[in-house]
Amino acid sequence: GENVEQHPSTLSVQEGDSAVIKCTYSDSASNYFPWYKQELGKGPQLIIDIRSNVGEKKDQRIAVTLNKTAKHFSLHITETQPEDSAVYFCAASTTGNQFYFGTGTSLTVIP
C-alpha cells in the first residue's frame, strides 16, 4: 500500500512568519492529496486539497504544491496567526482507495 511520510513532526514559528510542511508518498498512482487541520479535542478538518492534474492551489493564506515527478507535496501557510496552531496531517489516495495519512506536524505559532 501507499506510504506517506511527513516532516517535520513539530514546528514553531513566530506570528507573521511562514510555515512549510512537507510530505512524500510512494505510490505513483496516487492522485488526491488533502490536508487536514486537527485542533485539540476535535476531529480533523479539511483545509485544502489538490488533485494530480494541478501543480499548485491557493486559498487565502494557505497553499499546496505538488511535484508528481518527485512524489512530494507541501503545505504553505503565510502570515501565520496564533489560531493556526494545531496538528496538520497530509494524506494521499488513489481512485477508489482509502486515504493514507502522514504522521502529523504539530505547529505552534508564537505570538
The answer to whether 107 contacts other proteins (rule: CB under 8 A) is no
The answer to whether 106 contacts other proteins (rule: CB under 8 A) is no
The answer to whether 109 contacts other proteins (rule: CB under 8 A) is no
The answer to whether 111 contacts other proteins (rule: CB under 8 A) is no
Report DSSP state, residue 55. Answer: S
C-alpha cell at 4: 506517506
Q: How far is the CB of 62 from other proteins (least distance, A)?
A: 15
35, 73, 88, 101: residue in contact with other proteins (rule CB under 8 A): 101
Please state the separation of Cα 61 from the chain's center in Å.
13
Per-position x/- string for 3-42, each x denoting binding to other proteins as judged by CB under 8 A, each - no binding: ----------------------------xx-x-x----xx
The answer to whether 98 contacts other proteins (rule: CB under 8 A) is yes
Strand partners, 101: 91
Cα separation, 36 vs 39, whole angstroms: 10
- Burial of 1-40, coded b for 16+ CB within 10 Å and e otherwise, reads ebebebeeeebebeeeeebbbbbbbebeebbebbbbbeee
Residues that bind other proteins (CB under 8 A): 31-32, 34, 36, 41-46, 49, 89, 93-99, 101-104
